[in-house]
Amino acid sequence: MAADTERDYDVVVLGAGPIGQNAAERARAAGLSVALVERELVGGECSYWACVPSKALLRPVIAVSDARRVDGAREAVSGPISNAGVFGRRNRYVTDWDDSGQADWVSGIGATLVRGHGRLDGPRRVAVAAPGGERTTLTVRHAVVVCTGSRPVLPDLPGIDEARPWTNRRATDSSDVPQALAVVGAGGVGVEMATAWQGLGSQVTLLARGSGLLPRMEPFVGELIGRGLADAGVDVRVGVSVRALRRPAGGRVAIELDDGSEIHVDEVLFATGRAPLTDDIGLETAGLTPGSWLEVDDTCRVRAVADGWLYAAGDVNHRALLTHQGKYQGRIAGAAIGARAAGRPLDTAPWGAHATTADHHAVPQAFFTDPEAAAVGLTARQAEQAGHRVHTVDVETGDVVMGAKLYADGYTGRARMVVDADGGHLLGVTLVGPGVTEMLHSATIAVAGQVPVDRLWHAVPCFPTISELWLRLLEAYRDSTAQDD
């Protein structure tokens, strides 16, 4: 590419991860010319350092655990997991960190891939600095979509630089198993990586500052996952904070805790939050603050920018830091841009209105721990805080669902259904137990579609599957509401 060149496009997308790819694909489907700008690997964090490699690492661990829960199968499981096999499998799914296949996909949809660091350069302009020093200016007719994602946040602690901590990237691309690993943080990354690395042979200590694990979910989720981690050998400590770290040259990491104790490990992983990757993308040229989250409307347009040319999808808008929600937003943004460019109303697309309504009441999330956890919509507390009058029912899955008993001997799990007592539809569903992540989409449909409970009785679950849990939840709801009457 020649130095200091200029090109014109209808749409420019900053960031060619899954969110940017979805935005680009929808804009291309509307007949618009699109450039995707990427400074690292096409496919982004999710493909190479987050969702894909983490699940590739976790699946063998969970598969072995599942086999050991079944009489007749557990006898066939002997010896430790083959770490070489696990890492080889991970490497296949991240294509050895080679993005040529995803780059081919970009050209396959008729978009242009521009490699380099892209920055806004005033309204409807993006300047891209290529690795070789060339500079390209992209002028934009309709929209720029920021899909640059987020980065891990490390706390400001004495000795943290000396400790050389892992973040999610090192936790998913490492092929060396530390003898002892401390995981700081009890959110999704923390509990999943504690599960994975304990299964791969590390002695893991999980440090949670709050009173439980996965604190944004129903309280019983953290209780059951904490019990599962402890049963697997993880040292789970709640209500503790890291006060300082030390790592002498060539030595192990010493972690000083606020309860006065100290632990020594080979590596420490911090999974303590995310910040937007917007500090060096030229936000100041659009009147915005570098490093800030970008507030958007329900079409993912950035509210603070005049003329409506700037959009933001995925982590950068801070609505839901989940890949699937970001991809959803990317589809909404791309289709909305296409509709506006053509002067069409936003609700004329064949697949529905261009508004991210699911971001408000039906966000699904799944964690591939042992046991698994899955939820969609509101917890009981969140629903009450939002002003709903709710009715909540719980079911101990292993006690009443034959499909669960057949899935695993001694199946342990729990489910909760939060019902809008006035509207008669579901506000939220939470599931914990082996195999429950594959049940999440049925719950998501019920919550997103606001399907009346009376109608759910006619969605007949197949026997004997774990999905018969739906019938048990409805029966529990019927019995509890009858008692209220």
361 alpha carbon, distance to own chain's centre: 17
Confidence (pLDDT) at 1: 40
273 labelled as ligand-binding?
Answer: yes
- Measuring CA to CA, how many Å separate 473 from each of 114, 282, 306, 372, 398? 51, 51, 49, 19, 13
238 labelled as ligand-binding?
Answer: no
The torsion defined by the Cα of 35, 39, 41 and 46, in degrees rounded to 10, comes to -90
55 labelled as ligand-binding?
Answer: yes
118 labelled as ligand-binding?
Answer: yes
186 labelled as ligand-binding?
Answer: yes
188 labelled as ligand-binding?
Answer: yes
Q: Tell me the pTM.
A: 0.94
CB 440 within 8 A of CB 431: yes
191 labelled as ligand-binding?
Answer: yes
187 labelled as ligand-binding?
Answer: yes
222 labelled as ligand-binding?
Answer: no
315 labelled as ligand-binding?
Answer: yes
Q: Radius of gyration of the chain from Cα atoms?
A: 24
pLDDT tens, residue order, the chain (485 aa): 445 799 999 999 999 999 999 999 999 999 999 999 999 999 999 999 999 999 999 999 999 999 999 999 999 998 899 999 999 999 999 999 999 999 999 999 999 999 999 999 999 999 999 988 899 999 999 999 999 999 999 999 999 999 999 999 999 999 999 999 999 999 999 999 999 999 999 999 999 999 899 999 999 999 999 999 999 999 999 999 999 999 998 799 999 999 999 999 999 999 999 999 999 999 999 999 999 999 999 999 999 999 999 999 999 999 999 999 999 999 999 999 999 999 988 765 555 556 777 788 899 999 999 999 999 999 999 999 999 999 999 999 999 999 999 999 999 999 999 999 999 999 999 999 999 999 999 999 999 999 999 999 999 999 999 999 999 999 999 999 987 66
